[in-house]
Every structure is written in structure tokens, then in C-alpha cells.
Amino acid sequence: GESVGLHLPTLSVQEGDNSIINCAYSNSASDYFIWYKQESGKGPQFIIDIRSNMDKRQGQRVTVLLNKTVKHLSLQIAATQPGDSAVYFCAETSNSGNTPLVFGKGTRLSVIA
């Protein structure tokens, strides 16, 4: 989930369990959303995206769900592995291509082996 302040919300999961990371986006006009994964000391990596005409999109071991009614986005990671430990950011924008992404504050995922 999202929070204000210096400390990222943290989600701890057991290896092999499923993870669900939540994001509340702010702009009701946003119609394109991306999830990024950032490992310590590295730049964010693209994971998966979704447009507002969809409510679900699946990738390899990941699923993104979009609920436009409550402006909520979630990232589900199946069979979480130690390599999934990272900070996960959601980002929103309009689909015009001319509006920069707005990033959420991130959630730290810690996988317990």
C-alpha cells in the first residue's frame, strides 16, 4: 500500500507463497499504469503494464489488477522467490504519450527463505 513519510511500507512473505502489492493512484484521468521493480542500488525495471480498458493483465508469474472505481491497482506475484525481494513502484499517466509518469512511493517486498 501507500504511505507518506520516510519509511516504505514493507510486505514480508514466505518463499513459495503468493504476494499482493497494492497501490492507490491519485488521478482519475490516468488511463495507463505500469509496475516497476527496483533492486537495491539499481534503476527500476519494467515488470508489467495495463491500460484502463482492461481490469486484468497477466505476465510470467505476475498479474496486475485494475479497479478504476476505487482507483486501485495491485500486483500479484505467484510463488514468490528470493529474487523477487525489491521495492515495487506503481506509476500512472494518461495514454497521450506526452504526460510524464507519476510514481507512487513504493512497497518493499521481503521474501523469507
Partner 1 sequence: DGGITQSPKYLFRKEGQNVTLSCEQNLNHDAMYWYRQDPGQGLRLIYYSQIVNDFQKGDIAEGYSVSREKKESFPLTVTSAQKNPTAFYLCASGFRSLNIQYFGAGTRLSVL
> Of these, 28, 29, 41, 53, which contacts partner 1 (CB under 8 A)?
41
Q: Which of residues 11-40 bind partner 1 (CB under 8 A)?
A: 32, 34, 36
Residue 79 CB, shortest distance to partner 1, in Å, is: 26
Size of the site for partner 1 (CB under 8 A): 25
Nearer to partner 1, 22 or 49 (CB): 49
43 binds partner 1, rule: CB under 8 A? yes
Phi and psi at 83, nearest 5°, equal -65, -10
Phi and psi at 84, nearest 5°, equal -85, -10
Cα end-to-end span (Å), the chain = 23
Q: Specify the DSSP class assigned to residue 4.
A: -
Cα(43)–Cα(82) distance, integer angstroms:
19
Cα(64)–Cα(54) distance, integer angstroms:
10
8 binds partner 1, rule: CB under 8 A? yes
53 binds partner 1, rule: CB under 8 A? no
| Cβ–Cβ under 8 Å, residues 55 and 65 | yes
Judged by the rule CB under 8 A, the positions of this chain that interact with partner 1 are 6-8, 32, 34, 36, 41-46, 49, 89, 93, 95, 97-101, 103-106
